[in-house]
Amino acid sequence: MGVSDEVLVARFKEGDESSFKELVERYQSRVYSIVLAMLGDKNDADDLSQEVFLKVYRFIHQFKGRSKFFTWLYRLTINTCISARNKKKRNNQILLSQSFKKDFTPIDTLQNDAKSPIEILQNRELEKKIKLALDSLSDGLKEVFVLREIEDLSYKQLSRILHCPEGTVKSRLFRAREELKKKLMPYIDEL
């Protein structure tokens, strides 16, 4: 087993940049996946994931170790996504909706022509549909669903990251899955 997050954070606080590198390499895929799922744009996801780690670099001294490092990191990631999303919404609302209409067909009108799970998952178009379905969720439902599916975090850990009771985590996950289930019914019935 490698060095714990806590030790890496302590070393990094002491000025050891190689520990920061190790933390980045340990979490870059998960942070990137969360950002990509939250924003749905590859270029934005790369830039924003870097922004998350720049914040870690800059504000690591604000992390006092009262919670797990990943709790702090994922909270930071979610906050960064939400503020970027709001900023983008304000600046680019019309352009965004136009590009979505052009690139994607609404889920409800899709025909399920894939034959097996592998074929389904290899279908880039289907991937877009799933992302579009995800994008239709509110931020509150999406963040809990994305964190749960990417990280397999327990309801207790999720409640700490999202600052809400475990009961809220449970009901939001239920609602998120209900909405996704309805939108992706033809695909998930076939698997």
Partner 1 sequence: MRCDWFKKNLSAYIDGEVNFLTRWRIKRHLKSCTDCYKDYIRLKNLRKISKIILLKSPEPGFYERLQAKLPRLSPNITLKKTGSLAKFWMLLPLPGKLAIGGVAILILFLLVIYPHLSGSSLNINKFEEEYLRSKEIFSVVEEPAPPLLLVSEER
What residue ranges bind partner 1 (CB under 8 A)? Answer: 7, 10-15, 21, 24-25, 28-29, 32-33, 36-37, 45-46, 49-50, 53-54, 57-58, 61, 117, 120-121, 127, 130-131, 145-146, 148-150, 154-155, 170, 173-174, 177, 180-181, 184-185, 187-189, 191
Least CB distance to partner 1 at residue 109 (A) = 19
Nearer to partner 1, 71 or 171 (CB): 171
Least CB distance to partner 1 at residue 93 (A) = 26
Nearer to partner 1, 65 or 106 (CB): 65
Q: How far is the C-alpha of 108 from the C-alpha of 124, rounded, in Å? A: 17
Which region holds residue 112: left if phi is over 0, alpha if psi is between -120 and 50, else beta? beta
Least CB distance to partner 1 at residue 153 (A) = 10
Q: How far is the C-alpha of 150 from the C-alpha of 148, rounded, in Å? A: 6
**Per-residue tokens: 185:** 């019914």
